[in-house]
Structure 1
């Protein structure tokens, strides 16, 4: 296989500088080939294998190396952290030689001290090498730290004062250890350079103490402080605080100074102290430490960490085993070992203190449930902090492992029906780990709750239940047409019917519904309201109209229409309830009913055109004469039997529209009649049956008898002459044409007239 090209190897890494940026002095010899004999002194000992690797990867010149970053080097096959450090150290040696303008002899390349190479570290000269502030720089290399202590290096300054040759000559420090020491100083130098470049100086007033000032973001070089104060003035301030408070702690001192008026001899000193910045503290960065720690792990551990532990959608053991070339059980063992190591270090290691603090900050900031944008996870270290904080990303939120939002049965209720006790719910969420500032966010994510007019209510799937919630919040009757868009109804007619039939609701007017527990008179129908008033005695019709309008908004026209129902009796301008002493007399004029014919003493035929209501399955009104022929009077009903479907014929006593026949849809469809066509209904009062017949089709040579048969549905022999048609329509031969035309059967009348003239 051909070695990769330089272009393929060079991968841009935003987090790493190129070696050319780090070793500017080497740009002058960028064209020098790495296999040049005058560079042989560099490739000795452990460095000899680097020359062979450079040849393999077609890195032929110093300039080729300068275009790469340390991250690029580590991406090369067979190049890990150690070999990358060797390559950087090689350039360090070459840079030191070039900067000093010395000869090519190996004995002279160690002349520059580490202080010359890393001048930015001189302000850190007094920093002890065993300080916990350097944990992230040592990257877990405890043995190296101990070795430096044994050979007499206790501070950063001790190292800066030495040359590479001096360190290399010490017992126990060979080429490998020397490379590690140079890399250590380079990392510390990079940290200092980045903090100076990125962090402007910020002044933190001492008055911020006790006021929740957030110091988490302060870097090591952001604050410069001069703590010189007049000792006598400070003593005076402390003595005054002790005099004013029995508390002898720092907390008592601060509370006293911040909460009381200060005397004139204390006020200037405190004012000066309050404006002085806090001292700088070199706080180790958890993300940097974890990034370095993960780099120190093997590639197999990193695969398991990335794809099993930190991934939002973890790979299965089988998937990862296939990728790594091991069994699923081996993956499980490796994962268990890795997690045990992480948890042990996190719990017990002093080097992980910054990580523990970072995790605590995350837990404090996020709690058990918060928006997903509250935590950045751009790096592996940040992902590991999130994992240690037991947070998982789901959709656009961060959720603590094992945490669940309360379900509707667990949500505390207020005294009002359908209302939520929001303070109690917030307390419940806080008790389960949700941070105070995220309780409203979590509340709005609970399935089955919704805010109506800023009030939190139950919001189940039932539209009627939702309507109850809206009425509870608004506290007044509402029109179903107004409620519909709020609750998301799809069918206004069905929604209205469900509201009016629910026992928890009360119809208080023709168009308004309220909660039943509000009390008040229920609106069932206009006729029921009229009955309720007239049970107290007769009333003038106009007085009844005004009363029902005032109480339920019923229109005057509706009251006048219902006053004609069988349940009511009009005596001039007065209306009263009908009694048995004044029975209702239905209209009895069958000769005036359109399409009604007599077949026999026990059968009638009703011919009608199928309209939209019939096709839709709605019931329809029928004439008084049809109902009375079948024996149905106000307040009674009858079931008409059919082989297809039974049909109900009823007459409500309080209805102003007369008798009603149930749905004819099934009978009409069985007869093969469509909308706009005529159907003949045959009703039998002896057997209480109903039958739907389809008229015969017209023909080209249709006789008048056949035309009458088709239009009326009468038997053909009853259509010979006019006597049969006249008897069927309750008329006489001499008046049948005029009677048919007058009642609306004009087409039948026209054919009958032709029969007379013909």
Structure 2
């Protein structure tokens, strides 16, 4: 038979129940079976594998001659009838036999034959037959249900149940479960130090050596065929119990790791922070020299937080999309088409949002309509069709033949001739004569760039008493998190910026860049906002002077209730100022009056100020 029966020795030998424990222990005891009354507790296949049929047959022969002389052999073990022995022999009593020594050998052989005839097969190896299984199962096989539950569901498991859950299960308080937890923990530690835990205690250092500083949990189960075996008393695999007993290791995110692995993670994280990309051959030396088993080194690198293995490199994989795009381009070493860049960065985000984010990152340069590279590589930057045409016209003195413009741009970028001609015919440009295109106002190379709306006509731009222009920015969560943001071209020109410029500035103590690609952009002003304890909804007035970005904060909760005072407050002026102060702030002449102010605000689009002033002016 290939199926083991769940019988115990006491089922086969009824006299065991009526024999004193001392005699049974003396005849049947064995160091590999720790359970009390094992002949009633342990299945016979497991017992026979642990102690061997010869030991069992010898013990039963001794008991038959010493304790069961008044019983017929068939009464001692009814299974003897399976051996084919003559029924008359099985009806005899041991005290009737004159030769004790010969009787002992005869009984030993007879019991051994009976055991061989039982319908079970004990495999040489397999579930529940290993020495670790036998030893650990012996710790709790006869324990009361609460101690077994606490051991299996809290002390020796990787997925502990709460004190309250176990307390409810057994109808006791969480404090009582805590006490049992402590007792079971002490008991386990005591057994590991004694004879009943010798095999497990000796196995743990060897297991620690095999695991190294880090090993995948999946790979752990293959280290021994005994690890997946489930202990009946605990309802846990042997391997899970060993992991809980193993000092210096813990299971985290599918890995068995140690403090040594933590130090390796820190080392590589610091290295990636400086370099972004490390050749894989160089990166692999860190885990190999640090104690990660060779077969798991690559998987360990792949599992590093905020890192990724890509094209033979270990790459810092930042939290934001521009960082990821920068890493992908660094590894590629060449400009990538937007679709390829998108594919390598991954999914789970909005495509148009991704495009906007990389457009605004100073490390990344748009090399063509859908081609991106790193600014450090150099090359011609594509700023969009309109801006590219505008730059060429400025360099040509303000006007040039459309055919020349087409030839230049199509040579540099993947732009169709029809797109360029259509843009030339649009409202953004003028046509001074047939076949020619010009900038509005015939701007020449010596004429500074003039925005469509100068700063005086730009919404939310206000002049201070010294004549410097400030932009009012209503703060949102993106500003506070450190995102850059576009600024009006009229304001940008007023503070010294122009198309294509990359103006070095300082924001607080941090060096930064104010750039103008397709549109002027202000980099993060978060350091200045932190100094002012800014909140969402507050009004930040910013300007750029002397190479520094300055910021004044007007709190949203401090806007006056008086409409005219509130208008002054939102224009960056003192709430006690008069109408002339407001007129000056929006760039009007000093002799301007209220109607001119209202018309000017309407032209600028300052609807908030108009709403406040309309009932009073």
Give the alignment's TM-score, normalised by structure 2.
0.50
**Greater length-normalized contact order (CA 8 Å, ≥ 6 residues apart):** 2
* Greater gyration radius: 1
Structure 1 or 2: larger strand share?
2
Give the alignment's TM-score, normalised by structure 1.
0.42
